[in-house]
Amino acid sequence: MTDRIEYCGRRACVLVALTVMALAGCKSEGTKAPAADQASAGKPSGYTQKTAIPSGPTMPQGFTCCNLHYDGDWISDANYTTLPMIPVGTPAKVTKFGRYRAYMDVGGQSMRIGLDYGREKETLRQWMAKIIVADDPNIKIATFPDAIKNAIMHGKLIKGMTREQVIISVGYPLTNENASLDAPVWYMWVSDSQKYQVLWGTDGLVKDITGDPWARSLVVYKP
């Protein structure tokens, strides 16, 4: 005890000793902190904080905003045209969020979807809020001219489309290459090595689709 008093000082050691004794007394009497009593008051049997207080916002559910392309069970924000397509308006629901990917049920199939390229421009939740929409886009598509409806059904483009119609058909342009949807040119990809451009007229409609001939052949609709 002499060594301990020399190390920390007589007054400090006395306070420590008194504190230890007080805590030991509480433990032996089985007392609980008032906050714990208040928190448990009125809770039904089997209550857990996890089920009563959701860990995050409601998971998005509704319909796919646009035609989405996939590789196995993976969907990327690149949305390459050369891959198989999930049609616009397919029922979809997010089941879990990761850091840069979300897990979804899409038309009854378990899929993963990733923000691979645009993660520095928007969050995964912001992007998913665009990908899954509340109302079925097919209701609006039914009001479009036949040529545009047919192009969308095939995931392709034609001149005269609006920005909304282009997004429905081929998806959103990558945000890391397209700073604004109001830009006069959108830079898009058909694969990881081939890109094309959508040129907008002053009337807000597609004026032209340019790029490598092979890339254009994949995205330009020909009845």
Give dist(CA 116, CA 124) in Å, integer: 10
Give dist(CA 193, CA 47) in Å, integer: 54
**pLDDT at 29 (0 to 100):** 41
Q: Which two tokens stand for residue 52?
A: 């009563």
Single out the residue of 156, 168, 166, 144 nearest to residue 223, CA to CA. 156
Check pLDDT > 90 for residue 2.
Answer: no
**pLDDT at 57 (0 to 100):** 65
Average pLDDT over residues 102-129: 96
Give the model's confidence band at 22: pLDDT under 50 very low, under 70 low, under 90 confident, else very high. Answer: very low
Q: What pTM does this model have?
A: 0.74
Task: Determine how many CB atoms are found less than 10 A away from the CB of residue 197.
Answer: 15
